[in-house]
Chain A
Amino acid sequence: AQKITQTQPGMFVQEKEAVTLDCTYDTSDPSYGLFWYKQPSSGEMIFLIYQGSYDQQNATEGRYSLNFQKARKSANLVISASQLGDSAMYFCAMSTYGNKLVFGAGTILRVKS
């Protein structure tokens, strides 16, 4: 069975600093995808970044990068130059064939000015 673990219920970061949100996963499937979503208080789930299990390089999307360490089964999200608008809940999720997303419990990020 697939499982996602996010061990940080909440995080604070100073505006303009970088922050890392942790995510570890467990699966016996060799093929899988890893996703990060942002959910502001309004409720919409916003797709941020994707990493495939066979991708050789870490994914990057603007200020978001994914630190993928396959041997350690971790897929941490790094947000650079934090902004006040980054305050939200962040979910790590995994899919295998069948595209059923398994979500972690989420991490609430608060950016301080």
Chain B
Amino acid sequence: DAMVIQNPRYQVTQFGKPVTLSCSQTLNHNVMYWYQQKSSQAPKLLFHYYDKDFNNEADTPDNFQSRRPNTSFCFLDIRSPGLGDAAMYLCATSTRLAGLASTDTQYFGPGTRLTVL
């Protein structure tokens, strides 16, 4: 089945130790998003790629970086994780950036739950 895959599902890292989260998709969607979701809160958009064009949200800390080497894969790099970065990280994809049709729906992966010790 076409889908959005995230690896690993659970990641434990140490304070200050760089970590990379992975997202892949078989939907051939143009847009890939990364969200951070803390406990009992709504997801918060960190950034997105439209093809190779990167768009960072204004309030996303510099500690968070992203790479999209090809259409299928997108990575989230946290350069120096702090305790406040412990959260669920959700990857999502969509065909285009206009959310005005059902075909623009964002489809999410299962998420990676990050623990920072």
Chain A residues with a Cβ under 8 A of chain B: 31-33, 35, 37, 42-47, 50, 52-53, 91, 95-101, 103-106
Which of B15-23, B62-70, B74-82, B91-99 is the contact stretch?
Answer: B91-99
Interface size class of B (residues with CB under 8 A): 20 to 34
Residue pair B101, A99 in contact (C-beta under 8 Å) = no
A32 to B40, CA, bound (A): 26
A60 to B106, CA, bound (A): 18
Given the contacts A45-B108, A95-B104, A99-B94, A33 and B99 also touching, CB distance less than 8 Å: yes
CB neighbours of A98 from chain B (8 A): 97-99
CB neighbours of B111 from chain A (8 A): 43-45
Given the contacts A96-B99, A98-B97, A105 and B104 also touching, CB distance less than 8 Å: no
Chain B residues with a Cβ under 8 A of chain A: 31, 40-43, 45, 88, 90, 92, 94, 96-102, 104-111, 113
B102's partner among A37, A52, A96 (CB-CB below 8 A) is A52
A39 to B32, CA, bound (A): 19
CB neighbours of A104 from chain B (8 A): 42
Q: For the complex formed, measure the closest distance between the CB of B106 and the CB atoms of chain A, giving whole angstroms.
A: 6
Q: For the complex formed, measure the closest distance between the CB of B87 and the CB atoms of chain A, giving whole angstroms.
A: 11
